[in-house]
Structure formats: structure tokens, C-alpha cells
Amino acid sequence: MEKTKDGTGLTEHTGSTDFISEFIKEDLTSGRFSWVHTRFPPEPNGWLHIGHCKAFFVDFSMAERFGGTCNLRFDDTNPEKEDISYVEAIKRDVKWMGYDWEDREYYASDYYDYLYDLAVKIIKKGHAYVDDLSEDAMSEYRGTAVADKHNITETPPGKNSPWRDRSVEENLDLFARMRAGEFADGAKTLRAKIDMTDPNLLLRDPVMYRIRRETHYRTGNTWCIYPMYDFQHPLSDAKEGITHSLCSMEYEIHRPLYEWFIREAEVFPSRQIEFARLNMTRTVLSKRWLLKLVQEQHVSGWDDPRMPTIAGLRRRGYTPEAIRDFISQVGIAKTDSMVDIAFLEYCLRQDLNRRSPRVMVALRPLKLIIENWEADRVEALEAVNNPEDPAAGTRTLYFSRDLWIERDDFAEVPPPKYFRLFPGNSVRLRYGYIVTCTGFDKDPVTGEIIAVRGTYDRETKGGNAQDNRTVKSTIHWVSAAQGVPIEVRVYDYLFSAERPVPAGGAFLDNLNHHSLEVIPTAYAEPCLAQALPGDRFQFERLGYFVRDPDSAVEGKARTKPVFNKTLGLRDTWAKIAQKSAQEGKK
């Protein structure tokens, strides 16, 4: 595939920037590790989005490249927000993307005893203590970065907690009693004794355990103390023998802490390596914000076809191949960048063009009556299923007197350069005949055009005209007697702004309130009645569409299949890339 994005400034660069492989190679050469073992560590507090695809693409592909393995580990130490339904969604989506963790499915919540024992070990070394400061007092003692009058950010040193010098015995006793449930939620914490003056605030005696009486979806009420992420994560990596703990850039400032816990606990020395997050225009990639969209019903659910979740993309008609192609072309870099969503669409269009059967659908139907066609005559025509794939074969279409055409393909008064149907003009009906428009019918009350009339030329079948007649347009059609009604949902971007998240995060202000249009009745070739949820098609001249799991109820019993518009046929990426390349040269 062409590397149009290079030089556009819109995406990260590929190829030589694969610094992770370089680090891993160094580690294997130096003997720091003799094998490669990675993990993908989602927290089950939401569904996965395309940013997570980048993360597990990196995790699984690095393992694969070096003949190693990759674990799926649920980082589930935050009982308030986690749920088994998220675990199931995550597993289904990673699998659908084509990745297999085999039997290596782990849960940080299975390590609670192990983690507790390591906390005790660190207390015994005199490097952790039980603190009585409240959350507010603790952050006051920790201090925060302040901007001085010259706007330079400074971090004045923090203050030690009055409880910092408790004896090892007292700490061991209090920690055991925290676990036993003797203290109220928030009354005490276990903290690492590092350095209250460190410029990195995360190293100012971070909390290792907090008291929380909350039912965990796996451990129930067994525990009332829960380990914090920064303590749990490195030690879970170590427990699984993870050699390379790959994560997004925001964890870079956590790395000293990651290493501190590994050193203090004296466990397997996993190495953390960070890479840039995936950011994309016209969308938000944060579980917190996606959850808000779901909870406040701005979308129909996590799998709404407008969502950047894997489930949303699947329902929209995306293929795992296209998403993987996109991620691999975006590449892995250290610097954050914003990828244009048009590039994702370009990758999908390439894939769908190869694989989608072509069909004809009148999306906004208008009746065309062929006046010189006998009323009951039906003629079979042969249509090609996919010009990109001869193996896809052909199908039979039925031509008849009454057809559905696209409302847009007729104009009472043609605008300039309009070559479709208007009184006196001729077009070819795809696979069929040349038809000349002879008139149209209007609703006497509303004035709306309700039918177009025309005559066909029997010598022009299938483009084999003997008289060399040429027409400037070919339009699609569906036989009215054979066509099946379908519902079509047409989507636009969920956000009207290129970068929906302004400073302060008020991203809902940028919601596009016209991102869904429902077309209750379109007419499709009969074969679409048999389409299964997930089947993808190109509706000729209209775009790519996918059968949704929903069915629209029509009347009492009959149901109409629903199709989602995946995307249009026109590629906007080439234009964007070209424009940016030109701007880059200026």
C-alpha cells in the first residue's frame, strides 16, 4: 500500500521508528533477557476502543516477532468500576481482532495474596508505612506543582507525614488490622517510604493500599483493602515473568516507581517501555469519555456504530484486517500525534473494495415506469458480483416494467452538468437497457414527484448496443416486484469538531447532533433478504453497507433487515494527504 501519509505531518512515521524492537533486540543481545514475554493489561471498566487495538497489536506482535508469548491480564484492582460484562466484551473483541492468548488468561485479582505478602516484605525492610492522614491532608503534604509569577512550573518539596516513622512492628500490626477490617474506609493507607522531596510527585510516598468496603466482581467481600495500580502492576508483570511491559506514554513518569517496587519486592525485573498513544480526529479515545456517551445515552450503547470501540467498528462494518493494516501503517513512535480518521477509512475502503459483493439498492426510492415494457414481462439479467474478484461469480437480476431508482437520479429541471434522468434525456440502467425519460407524475396535493416515466430501447441490452448509442450516465435500479424493503442507517461523525476535546474536556459541546439518519424504507435486490448480521456489501454508487444485528419491525410480524452505512465510496484521504504535503513544502 502506498505510504501517502509520510511527510503529511498527520500521522506518525513507520519503519525505522520501531524503537521497541530495537530495545528488545538489545536486551536479548546483552543477556538481560533470554526470551520475550509481553502482556495486554486492560482494566475491565469499559469496552476496548481502537487505541487499545494499538496497544495489543504492539503487545502481541512484539511477542510474535521474537518467538515469545503474550498474556491477557485483567488489571482488576478497582472494585467500584469493574464488571464481568466488561471482561467478556474485552475477550470477545480481542479475539475478533485475530489475537489469541491461548490459556494465558490472568487476573490481577488472583494475585491479592501474593501482593499482600510482598507489601509485608517491603514493610519489614522499613520501606513502607501505615499512614493515618486523610486523602486531602495527604495531597496537601505531598504538595503540588505551582507556577511562579514568571510562569515557570516549580515543585516545592513536600512534607513528611507525622506517621512516617512508625516502627516496623507497628506497621505490620496496623497493616494486618487494615486487612482484617478493623478500620473505616479511608481511615488508613499503606504508603511506600520513598522521598517527599522528589521532583516527581508520584515518588512522594505513593499509596500502595487503601481501605474500600466494596464488593469485587471476582473476589466478592474477601478483601476490604485493595492495591493501587502503581504497586500492583509491576508486581503482576513480575509474577507472570513479563520481560517487556509495553504501555502508553502517560506511564513514563510512573516508570521510576515501577522500578522501585520491583527492586524493593525483589522480584523478576520486568522492563517497562512506553510508546505514543493513538489519537484520532473526530473522536475521543478514553474509556471515561466513552462511558459518559453511553451513560448519558448520546449513543445507543458501547457498540453503537458511531463509537470508536472495537464493537462499534465491527457493527459499522469494519474488518479486523483493515484495523490491523491501519495500526501497522500508523506505526509505533514515542511522540504523540493525531491521526486523521480519513486514513482509517482509506484502509477500510481498500479492504472492502476487494471483498465486498456489489448489489443494487434504491436508498431513497422513486418509481420508474417503463411504458413500452409489457406489464407482466420479467427478464433475467446477469450481474457481476465483484469486479475485483472473478471467483465471486455472477447473480441473476430481474428487469420489469416498474423499477425503483434513486430519487437523486431524476431532476425535473436539470442543473448544469446533470447527465442523469430528466425529460428527454437517456441513461443506461446498469446491466439492462438504455431508457429515455418521457415524463413524470406529481402528487396533485403535495406537488411531490411520485413517478418517472420512460421508454426503453430493446437493442441496447447490457451495453451491447448495435447502433453505437452512448449515454453519459449509468444508474442503478431495483425491480419493484422483486425488491425487498430494508431499513438503512446512515452515520456521520459523532463530533463536529476535528479535535473534539477542548481544554477543560467539555467534549459534549462538540457532539454532532445529526450523526444518525434513519431511512425507514429503501429497496434492495432480493439477495439482501438472506444477508446475515455482519455481511458486508457495496451498494453500487452509494457506498459500503453492513447488515446490522437489529431488525426493524414492520407492521405486527414482518421484520425488515437493517443495514448500516459503513462509509462512502469516495476517498478523502488522498486529497488530505496531498494538501498537507503541499503545505509542508511551503
Q: How many residues bind ligand ATP (CB under 6 A)?
A: 15
Query: Does position 288 bind ligand ATP by CB under 6 A?
Result: yes
3-state secondary structure 141-180: HHCCCEECCCCCEECCCCCCCCCCCCCHHHHHHHHHHHHH
Select the residue interacting with ligand ATP from 72, 285, 323, 347 (CB under 6 A): 285
Q: Which residue has the cell 437523486?
A: 408
- Minimum CB separation from ligand ATP for residue 399, in Å? 51
d(CA 271, CA 33): 10
Select the residue interacting with ligand ATP from 97, 178, 247, 421 (CB under 6 A): 247
- Give 43 or 195: the residue with its C-beta nearer to ligand ATP: 43
Q: How far apart are the first and last CA of the chain?
A: 27
Backbone angles phi, psi at 42, to 5 degrees: -70, 150
Count of other CB atoms within 10 angstroms of residue 301: 14
Query: Does position 197 bind ligand ATP by CB under 6 A?
Result: no
Query: Does position 330 bind ligand ATP by CB under 6 A?
Result: no
Query: Does position 52 bind ligand ATP by CB under 6 A?
Result: yes
Select the residue interacting with ligand ATP from 233, 239, 255, 287 (CB under 6 A): 287
- Give 49 or 166: the residue with its C-beta nearer to ligand ATP: 49
- Give 284 or 369: the residue with its C-beta nearer to ligand ATP: 284
Query: Does position 41 bind ligand ATP by CB under 6 A?
Result: yes
Query: Does position 55 bind ligand ATP by CB under 6 A?
Result: yes
Is residue 277 among the annotated active site residues?
Answer: yes
- Give 57 or 523: the residue with its C-beta nearer to ligand ATP: 57
- Minimum CB separation from ligand ATP for residue 238, in Å? 16
Query: Does position 476 bind ligand ATP by CB under 6 A?
Result: no
* DSSP calls for 491-555: E--SBSSSS---TT--GGGGB-TT-EEEEEEEEE-GGGGGPPTT-EEEETTTEEEEEEEEEEE-S
d(CA 46, CA 56): 16
- Minimum CB separation from ligand ATP for residue 205, in Å? 23
Q: Which residue is nearest to ligand ATP (CB)?
A: 51
Of the residues 92, 212, 277, 541, which is catalytic? 277
The answer to whether the CB of 434 falls within 8 A of the CB of 468 is no
69-74, strands of its sheet edge to edge:
37-40, 69-74, 105-107
d(CA 26, CA 20): 10
**How remote is the C-alpha of 44 from its chain's centroid?**
16
Backbone angles phi, psi at 46, to 5 degrees: 175, 175
d(CA 244, CA 270): 6
- Give 86 or 545: the residue with its C-beta nearer to ligand ATP: 86
Query: Does position 43 bind ligand ATP by CB under 6 A?
Result: yes
Query: Does position 278 bind ligand ATP by CB under 6 A?
Result: yes
Query: Does position 252 bind ligand ATP by CB under 6 A?
Result: no
Of the residues 43, 64, 170, 214, which is catalytic? 43
Q: Which of the ranges 38-46, 155-163, 311-319, 418-426 carries the binding residues for ligand ATP, by CB under 6 A?
A: 38-46
Helices (H), 317-433: 320-330, 341-355
d(CA 143, CA 358): 63
Query: Does position 42 bind ligand ATP by CB under 6 A?
Result: yes
Of the residues 142, 204, 255, 287, which is catalytic? 287
Is residue 121 among the annotated active site residues?
Answer: no
- Give 78 or 426: the residue with its C-beta nearer to ligand ATP: 78
Written as nine digits, the cell of 517 is 439518519
The answer to whether the CB of 536 falls within 8 A of the CB of 317 is yes
- Minimum CB separation from ligand ATP for residue 277, in Å? 4
Is residue 255 among the annotated active site residues?
Answer: no
Catalytic residues: 43, 277, 287
* Residues that bind ligand ATP in the complex, under the rule CB under 6 A: 41-43, 51-52, 54-55, 247-248, 277-278, 285-288
